[in-house]
Amino acid sequence: MAANKPIQQKIVETLEENYMPYAMSVIVSRAIPEIDGFKPSHRKLLYTMYKMGLLTGNRTKSANVVGQTMKLNPHGDMAIYETMVRMTRGNAALLHPFIDSKGNFGKQYSRDMQFAAPRYTEVKLEKICEELFRDLDKNTVDFVDNYDGTLKEPTLLPTTFPNILVNANQGIAVGMASNMCSFNLREVCETTIQFIQNENVAIENYLIAPDLASGGQLIYNAREIQEIYRTGRGGFKLRAKYRYDKENSCIEIYEIPYTTTVEAIIDAIVNLVKSGKIKEIIDVRDETDLNGLKITLDIRKSADPDSIMNKLFKLTTLQDTFNCNFNILIEGRPRVMGIREILSEWLKFRIGCIKRQLLFDIDQKTKKLHLLLGLKKILLDIDKAIKIIRETERESDVVPNLMEGFGIDQVQAEFIAEIRLRNLNKEYILNRVSEIESLQNEIADLEETYRHEEKIKKIIIKQLREIAKKYGQPRRTEIIHEDDIEEITKEHLIEDYNLRLFLTEQNYLKKVPLVSLRANPEHKLKEDDRIIQEIETHNKADLLLFSNKHVVYKMKIYEINDCKASQLGEYLTNLLDLENDEKIIYLVATDNYQGYLLFAFENGKMAKIDLQSYATKTNRRKLANAYSDLSPLVRIFFLEQDRELVAISSIQKALVFHTQNINAKTTRDSQGVQVLKGKKGSWMIAVKTLDEVNFTDPDYYRTKNIPAVGCYLKDEDKEERQTNLFEI
């Protein structure tokens, strides 16, 4: 037998014949909600419960509802039950649940809390469902056959409020998706009323922000919200709510973002603690009970709870983004719409429902009026009507004889013929006929309303106000403005601690925590190397590194690796990518760029530069022209406040001066002012602190005014301290 040969097919034709019908079925009949706010599976389930009489009366077993729904929805029982679960009050997924439930239906905020089987749980429709089915029996929407043609079901539900905006809905189709966030019912009703009265109304003035069933806090960004309202796409940030129990030293998280689960949050926190990224948390527990959600974090008593939560907001889904995609089926076509377009389409749909209801009422009342007008005619001669019926030999001739005797049509004659004998009295007929005038007025009013859309809109507005009053709830999701939130940066996640920096002559930098330094203070250095500067600071400070090439390098101290005193440290040539002959000669650590740098040059000039001149908004790592290059540099001082210094010249003259006499500059490469005047070709060779020189009589060298030439060193200052004095 010959092997089966592959059949050649045209890919385009195959896609059109096989894939496209499947894709369209998923989009149109399964995954994307329609203007009434429901997917087909939701609508079929709720309609089944409505027909079962579950809008009133007692609850019934969920299994009973699931079984009945299968007459409309040809899916497995668990698929239908899962659809039901999400719409129940017990599951807490919706702002306004549609199903009143009894039993365990799991929780929207839990990944692992499973719902009970349908044979154990009970359900009925919530009171708000009256607004979904109002006037359904008055031809407000189209009905179609179910899958086997044995039943009828509505194509849409005539919702009296924009349910599409009130309850969250998510669906993934083929090649597209939908993700609707929920809004507060009162806000939606008021916004709709304002929109009906003025289509150009500022939506954001009434529909403040989304409102999610899980509560939490919404970080309000006006630009993001307006983009969502305008286009139907975008995202907004949600964060958890927490409280601090000082007595037990624990943080209690009691509301979380709608987009996450308790288990995902706990897993993330456990991983952070295990990896050492957060050291202040001792234990984490899920204490969710009948009172609601609660995640408890035991923390160290010395820890700051707000700081811990800021880290968790950054590193876990305790702060998360809800991405909106307002994709809705309109007359069988998917459309991504902003709020204004959604309200416009819903209003068009609702006006259509009311018009159909008006036509139904007009038709019913007109038929009734027609019957009563026939009844009125027999009022003129009841005896004649009785005589006609009594004298008619065959039953089939009763109606024709009445028609001929009173000049009425068949429908009227049938109605009169069916009146019971006891009602063929003047009182009964007069009472019925008295309804004619009121019926005529009612029909006229209904026809007037039908012809004028403004009157229909007033009906919609009245219904919306009643719904807002009857079912409205306070907001669950608190709004906090973006400006009131501390931005969580990488720096918030960095551990801060005290440390000491050591700079060596051969371009090595050691960053040693004080704890480590106390345990092992012995330094290891390369041969012929020595420490030329050491400063005490902390891990989150900024570090300025000045090189002999008139350049300053900037970095965060936490970007430098810790080391022990017994290690060589970081080689700055590699760390900063220095030139071969470039060396770092001075370090400054700062938090706020307060203070001054004093640059002393061989020509006797000194430049006092405001440290703010080195602060940059763009966090540049390298600044040229860090100080003047017109004369060789003698020394750099960091001045947190002005002080006295000693300038020494090459001809052994010294000058004690106060830095407050030097005016500060903002230009980094300023030459500064003359402090030590040169004489006989001398130049400045050193600048020292008074502690470094230890003069016997500092007043002898002190001057109030600069520039000055200074005084020759006294013998006692010259001989005993000469080595120390001229060491640079």
Catalytic residues: 120
Check the CA dihedral 448-452-453-455 and report its sign.
negative
Burial 244-270 (b: 16+ CB within 10 A, else e): beeeebbbebbbbbbbbbbebbbebbe
3-state DSSP assignment of residue 112: coil
3-state DSSP assignment of residue 654: strand
What whole-number distance in Å separates Cα of residue 476 and Cα of residue 566?
58
Q: Which pair of tokens denotes residue 388?
A: 């006609």
Alpha helix segments (H runs only) across 418-522 = 426-433, 435-451, 453-471, 514-519
Amino acid sitting at position 526 = K
Residue 321 burial (10 A CB sphere; 0-12, 13-18, 19+)? middle
Count of alpha carbons within 13 angstroms of residue 632, beta-carbon side: 6
Q: Tell me which residue has tokens 């003259």.
A: 653
Contact in structure between 542 and 589 (CB atoms under 8 Å): yes
Count of alpha carbons within 13 angstroms of residue 654, beta-carbon side: 25
Q: Tell me which residue has tokens 């004369």.
A: 631
Contact in structure between 552 and 545 (CB atoms under 8 Å): yes
Q: What is the 3-state secondary structure (H, E, C) of 597-652?
A: EEEEECCCEEEEEEHHHHCCCCCCCEECCCCCCCCCEEEEEEECCCCEEEEEECCC
Burial 594-621 (b: 16+ CB within 10 A, else e): eebbbbbbbbbbbbbbbbebbeeeeeee
What whole-number distance in Å separates Cα of residue 537 and Cα of residue 517?
13
Distances (CA, A) of 272 to 283, 315, 354, 486: 12, 8, 57, 21
Contact in structure between 557 and 540 (CB atoms under 8 Å): yes
Residue 584 burial (10 A CB sphere; 0-12, 13-18, 19+)? buried
Contact in structure between 694 and 652 (CB atoms under 8 Å): no
- DSSP letter (8 states) at residue 680: T
- DSSP letter (8 states) at residue 504: E
Distances (CA, A) of 532 to 539, 546, 575, 640: 21, 13, 19, 20
Contact in structure between 332 and 272 (CB atoms under 8 Å): no
Element housing 324 (H / E): strand 319-325
What whole-number distance in Å separates Cα of residue 521 and Cα of residue 478?
53
What whole-number distance in Å separates Cα of residue 324 and Cα of residue 644?
65
Contacts of 311 (CB under 8 A, 6+ apart): 272, 277, 278, 488, 492, 493
Residue 462 burial (10 A CB sphere; 0-12, 13-18, 19+)? exposed
